[in-house]
Structure 1
């Protein structure tokens, strides 16, 4: 298990696997940027009511919770923290699927496509 270093006292409770950390580092290297963090958010949408948003962001806004995973910053806004607390982010690279995955114990169900939850 990777040791996390808290950069904000309001930790968001989201974990980032070693494989996901390496993929984020690789993507940031391709962009030639070292000032970006991975932002994870929950927003209304999708057929089940809520969707995940993962994107790189240079900003840290008031109320954001930031955790550093060995040089990979993960930011969660204060409205998304309750929905994501206890979640873990991984990266899959198989024949069937390639991309980041989120295992969220707070999700009560999801749609058939797996892109949204409630």
Structure 2
């Protein structure tokens, strides 16, 4: 397991590993944007009832909790905070899998696709 970068205030309880922070920085540099944050949200849907949304966002919505991880802002909307408290966003780059992963201790179960949980 990769060590999680810590921030002074964990307003939303979501962690971002060093590998994930490096990948986000690389993607933002590739886009030539420094005004975007990584947003993680929980929405109804998927085969298990809830689905993760992970995307870049320039907006700051009312009630957002935002934590900076070494120059990478991670935003969580107020409705998603309880579902994501203690979750960690990581980035895997192996021969079997490449992409962001979310380890969420609040998920009681997930589906085979790994994108939804309950």
* Same structural fold, with TM-score higher than 0.5 when normalized by the shorter chain: yes
C-alpha deviations, 1:1-59, integer Å up to 9, x for none?
A: 523143xxx80000000000000000000000000000000001110000000000011
Question: What residue in structure 2 maps to residue 85 of structure 1?
Answer: 85
Question: What residue in structure 1 maps to residue 58 of structure 2?
Answer: 58
**Separation in 1 of the partners of 2:108 and 2:25?**
31
Length-normalised TM-score, structure 2: 0.94
Question: What residue in structure 1 maps to residue 95 of structure 2?
Answer: 95
SS, match of residue 27 in structure 1: helix
**Separation in 2 of the partners of 1:98 and 1:76?**
23
Quick check: 1:5–1:69 contact (8 Å CA) kept in 2?
no
Poorly superposed stretches of 4+, deviation over 4 Å: none
Question: What residue in structure 2 maps to residue 68 of structure 1?
Answer: 68
**Separation in 1 of the partners of 2:16 and 2:5?**
8
Length-normalised TM-score, structure 1: 0.94
Per the TM alignment, residue 112 of structure 1 is displaced from its structure 2 partner at its CA by 1.2
**1:2 and 2:13 aligned:** no
Quick check: 1:14–1:86 contact (8 Å CA) kept in 2?
yes
Quick check: 2:88–2:103 contact (8 Å CA) kept in 1?
yes
SS, match of residue 73 in structure 1: strand
**Separation in 1 of the partners of 2:93 and 2:116?**
21
Query: Please, which runs of 5 or more residues in structure 1 have no aligned partner?
Result: none
SS, match of residue 91 in structure 1: strand
Question: What residue in structure 1 maps to residue 45 of structure 2?
Answer: 45
Computed over aligned residues only, the root mean square deviation of the Cα atoms, in angstroms, reads 1.1
